[in-house]
Amino acid sequence: MKIAFFSTKSYDRESFLKHASDFGHEFSFLEPQLNRQTVALAEGHQAICTFVNDPLEANTLKKLSEMGIGLIALRCAGYNQVDLETAKSLGIRVVRVPAYSPEAVAEHAFALILTLSRKTHKAYNRVRENNFSLEGLTGVNIFGKTIGVIGTGAIGRAFCRIALGFGCKVLAYDVVESEEMKQLGVNYISLQEVLSKSHIISLHCPLTPETKHIINRETLAHMQDGIALINTSRGALIDTKAVIKALKTKKLGYLGIDVYEQEEHIFFKNLSEEILEDEQISRLMTFPNVLITGHQAFLTREALDQIAGTTLRNISEYEQGKALTNEIKWK
């Protein structure tokens, strides 16, 4: 099959070309994001492959359908960027990569916690300027802290195992409780209890209408003063304005995010020579207790290898008329 890959970077090309000979597909790697202006680039292909910030809205889907595109292969787990109802009405099938090295994201979330708690990012910059002073670098122990985990899917469970290994008490909230986690010592309680009893909260739930802005003015009010908040899941889980206010009032002691509500206009781009027009993320970057990475948590060799392999198997299943193992079903 001829597949148009949108929003591709060098690491995408390397990982997919590594598996190319095993599947026999023809690849067109395109740097632009998929949108109304770039959808014409899909002409002449049978399928497209997109990433988290490619908006698959109704108008774009209709144009894809007119071109004969019958399959959208998401090289990611989340699918909130897809208008599934329109895709179904047009007969376009949508597949995804439901799990790829959950440890990659979980480890990155804990890296944010460790960096913020011990201020190693600040120490690194100081030492490069021959400043070996320890003033202002006093940190806090992770051992013995209570960590709240919201969402215990594959990534959330991997995160829980790491937290338990650090000697933390782990509280969790999920609509589906994991018996495996319970046996390891994770205590499932209500969302409000998780918010009020935790020193650190890490978000690992999908973005749905129910979870959008799950961290907002009201839920922040339930938290302890000085709490650390970590988000490596989806940006819109957090109401950014409410979080900025919580940082200003010191309700939030630390914030570590790898995702951002308006990231599609910023992340995966080199904007070093431009003026950043997004006022909210610009404001966040002024806080000394905020650490932002640009949707980097997934980016390990192991994860990229699994994403490429699963995506190409998804496409081959479609080409061969088989049942689609990882198809997203619209209810």
**CATH 3.40.50.720 domain range(s) in the chain:** 2-100+300-319, 102-292
- CATH T-level topology, domain 2-100+300-319: Rossmann fold (3.40.50)
How are strands ordered across the β-sheet holding 71-74? Answer: 26-29, 2-5, 47-50, 71-74, 93-95
Give the separation between CA 310 and CA 46, rounded to whole angstroms: 18
Q: Which of 75, 204, 295, 313 is catalytic?
A: 295
Structure pTM? Answer: 0.91
Q: What are phi and psi of 82, to 5 degrees?
A: -110, 130
Query: Catalytic site residue 234?
Result: yes
Provide the β-strand partners of residue 291: 256
For every one of its 331 residues, what pLDDT tens digit does the chain have, with 9 covering 90 and above? 999 999 999 999 999 999 998 898 999 999 999 999 999 999 999 999 999 989 999 999 999 999 999 999 999 988 989 999 999 999 999 999 998 889 999 999 999 999 999 999 999 999 999 999 999 999 999 999 999 999 999 999 999 999 999 999 999 999 999 999 999 999 999 999 999 999 999 999 999 999 999 999 999 999 999 999 999 999 999 999 999 999 999 999 999 999 999 998 899 989 999 999 999 999 999 999 999 999 999 999 999 999 999 999 999 999 999 999 999 986 6
H helix count then E strand count, the chain:
12, 12
Q: What is the CATH number of domain 102-292?
A: 3.40.50.720
Give the active site residue among 261, 263, 264, 317.
Answer: 263
Catalytic residue among 234, 264, 313, 317: 234
- Active-site annotation holds for 217: no
d(Cα 305, Cα 310) in Å, to the nearest integer? 9
| Residue 295 bears catalytic tag | yes
